[in-house]
Amino acid sequence: MSQLFGLAAAALVGLGLYGLIVHPEPLRRILAFNLLGSGVFVLFGVLARRGALSGAGPDPVPQAIVITAIIVAFAASALAIGLLLRLRQATVDAASPPSDDAL
């Protein structure tokens, strides 16, 4: 059962990597990067689930690392989106006539 999700996670990494490389829209690249990351997280989850086969419950160490990783991935995405919005604002400012710059 966990192998099924392991294969899906491998496909998610491939999909995310493809979107990250070829997509022209920066926001879509951030989305694709999150797909790639979540694929890696699910791989961790599969490893944790396999740990349960050899004894007690699932291995809590990869699970805890994934919880930490989800928060860090969110923080990185928020920073990337902040940079993207600022870049777009700067592009709009540069494209508009200089009279609009008086603020």
16 vs 97, beta carbon nearer other proteins: 16
In order, the DSSP letters of the chain are -HHHHHHHHHHHHHHHHHHHHH--SHHHHHHHHHHHHHHHHHHHHHHHHHHGGGSSSS-HHHHHHHHHHHHHHHHHHHHHHHHHHHHHHHHHHHHS-GGGG--
In angstroms, the CA 44 to CA 59 distance is 10
Min separation Cβ 100 and other proteins, Å? 13
Residues from 36 through 95 that contact other proteins (CB under 8 A): 38, 41-43, 45-61, 63-68, 70-72, 74-79, 81-86, 88, 91-92, 95
33 sits near other proteins (criterion: CB under 8 A) = no
Among the listed residues 1, 97, 100, 101, the single contact to other proteins using CB under 8 A: 1
102 sits near other proteins (criterion: CB under 8 A) = no
Min separation Cβ 97 and other proteins, Å? 14
**Number of residues located near other proteins, criterion CB under 8 A:** 78
